[in-house]
Amino acid sequence: MLKKQFCDQLFFVEVYVGRAMHRFRLVTFDVIGTLLNFRTPPPTFYSEAASLFGIKAQPSNIASVFLSEYEKQSSLHPNFGQQTGIGWKKWWNQLVVEVLEKATNSQYSRTKYDSVAEYLITAYKDGEQYNVADGAQDLLSYLQQTNTILGIISNYDERLHCVLNSLDLNKYFNFVLTSYEAGIEKPSTKIFEKALDLAMKIDSNVSPTCALHIGDKIETDYQGATKAQWKCALLKKNKDELLIKRLQKDGVLTNYVFNDLSELKARLPHI
């Protein structure tokens, strides 16, 4: 109870650079679709990579099979192969090969498909294939200046550290928690609890009532965070009537839905 009162009072009593601070002591971010966006849509980049090895695979054909193959691979080997012991490299290799085989009706040798997979695994290891989302740098700088504990909670493999380093984003974060290394995927509350434990090593006053997660997925980000008793800011552009109905059906609070990180930064002191 005392921690909750402490957090709730921060908004009213703290002032930073002449204006009220936000009330959160811990803020964590999802990565893909939140902090980072793909420079090239993956189906297009997969097609371009395949062409380097003499494989003709149309982006539309890749896109048509990618999601189903991704879900199949995730079901067989959860958390990028961490739970079944195959490891994330083999996990991605198998996914890429399956996608390309189906997109090309297995017209080429397994050796060629493996070569494309290896190329893609390496290509996504740094920041070359990503753009930092609009407003991300401003929001991160603001949060860092207000002494907020910052973290990453992402369903991702070990390459995320290299990606963040190459984009010079690692300097903002007190910790980076990938599902692969944690052994837990969102939306499990356990990964949010693990993040909270890391934050409490920095500030023992941190509690779920002081924690905010920022992401773009209803199930993994919003529902995962709220089940852990955190708040969640959900990023959703182009909110049409159908999306609004889905958000309401899933119990999403509309005052925690934002078009982008710039809007979130502007409204953060008031949520």
Q: Contact at 8 Å (CB) between 160 and 152?
A: yes
Does domain 42-128 fall under CATH 1.20.1260.10? My reply is no
Q: What are the DSSP calls for 60-119, one per residue?
A: HHHHHHHHHHHHHHHHHSTTTTTTTTS-HHHHHHHHHHHHHHHHHTT-S-HHHHHHHHHH
User: Tokens 């839905």 sit at which residue?
Assistant: 257
Return the structure tokens found at 144: 């860092």
HSE value, Cβ hemisphere, 13 Å, CA-based, for 108: 22
The pLDDT score that the predictor gives to residue 11 is: 41
**Mean pLDDT, the chain, as a whole number?**
92
The per-residue pLDDT for range 126-165, each reduced to its tens digit, is 999 999 999 999 999 999 999 999 999 999 999 999 999 9
Strand partners, 231: 212
Q: Locate CATH 1.10.150.720 in the chain.
A: 42-128
Which fold does the domain 2-35+133-270 belong to in CATH? Rossmann fold (3.40.50)
Torsion-angle region of 148 (φ positive above 0: left; ψ -120 to 50: alpha; else: beta):
beta
Strand partners, 232: 213
The pLDDT score that the predictor gives to residue 19 is: 43
Per residue of the chain (271 residues), what is the pLDDT tens digit? 555 555 545 444 443 443 447 899 999 999 999 999 999 999 999 999 999 999 999 999 999 999 999 999 999 999 999 999 999 999 999 999 999 999 999 999 999 999 999 999 999 999 999 999 999 999 999 999 999 999 999 999 999 999 999 999 999 999 999 999 999 999 999 999 999 999 999 999 999 999 999 999 999 999 999 999 999 999 998 777 788 888 888 888 888 999 999 999 999 999 8
Q: Locate CATH 3.40.50.1000 in the chain.
A: 2-35+133-270
Q: Contact at 8 Å (CB) between 82 and 156?
A: no
Rg (CA), the chain: 20
d(CA 175, CA 164): 12
Strand partners, 36: 32, 132
Q: What is the pTM of this model?
A: 0.90
